[in-house]
Amino acid sequence: VAACAAGAAPPGCGPPPPPGASFPAPTAKATPAPIAGPAEAKANDDDFDTADDVASELDYTKIPSTLDAKLLTAEGGAAIRPTTIKVGETWTKRSQKALLGKPKEEALHTEEQQREKQAAFDLLDALSCSGALPIACCSLHVVVAATHAFDQSLLDTVIQQNVNPIEKLERSSLLVATTIHDAPAGRLLRDEVRERVARFAAPELLGGDAAAAGEGAVADLP
């Protein structure tokens, strides 16, 4: 009471309100959100890969030409020829209307294939807002076919030429794998087979591993 009389009125001082009086609700003071700096904006942008980032990592349309160029320069790569895959005219579609529904199969001819393809692209266009939104957690399957051709039959290759066809096929598989995965051959082999492949199948692809395998072979000699 003394403080109110002195003029230094603390909160709650003053005459009591008349009966039935109403008071405005307290208002909260708005605090502006801090503006994200360049580092924070870059961190937020890195959460999702944009279409430009994905395209700059690997262009799948260049894999066939890159593989052909590597096979032409590699020793023995001429035995591997590109192969064209021709699909049949009638496809089989497996689907189910609901998650717990009964799956069914149906044959799709040319007209049905075009209709299903257009429906799939329409759905993709709707989910991505015509390509404006990135699609995360998805997989893309790319099939690249190649055929390793031998000049002679299997028996003639083994008996007359004294060539192990398995080693030739392992080398061809490594040539294709290093191109598709863009990784050295040593990273694509298991530890238990690396020495054997480096010594017999593809010593030029494994580099230092081949030299190590050769040294081990000499050291094992009596």
Per-residue pLDDT for 192 more than 80? yes
Residue 12 in tokens: 């709650």
Mean per-residue pLDDT, 33-53: 49
Kindly tell me the burial class for residue 176, based on how many C-beta atoms sit within 10 Å of its own C-beta (0-12, 13-18, 19 or more): buried
Per-residue pLDDT for 58 more than 50? yes
Per-residue pLDDT for 36 more than 90? no
pTM: 0.52
What does the pLDDT read at residue 67? 84
Residue 3: band (very low, low, confident or very high) from pLDDT cuts 50, 70, 90: very low
Average pLDDT, the chain: 74
Counting Cα atoms < 13 Å in the Cβ hemisphere of 100 gives: 0
What does the pLDDT read at residue 194? 87
Tell me the pLDDT tens digit for each residue of 90-120. Answer: 999 999 988 888 999 999 999 999 999 999 9
Using N-to-C axis directions, what is the helix angle for 63-73 and 165-181, rounded to 10°? 140
Return the ∠ at Cα 200 (arms to 199 and 203), rounded to 5°.
60
Counting Cα atoms < 13 Å in the Cβ hemisphere of 110 gives: 1
Per-residue pLDDT for 44 more than 60? no
What does the pLDDT read at residue 51? 47
CA-based max dimension of the chain: 121
CB 180 within 8 A of CB 62: no
What does the pLDDT read at residue 6? 47
Per-residue pLDDT for 133 more than 80? yes
Helices and strands (H and E) in the chain: how many: 10, 4
Tell me the pLDDT tens digit for each residue of 59-70. Answer: 878 888 888 888
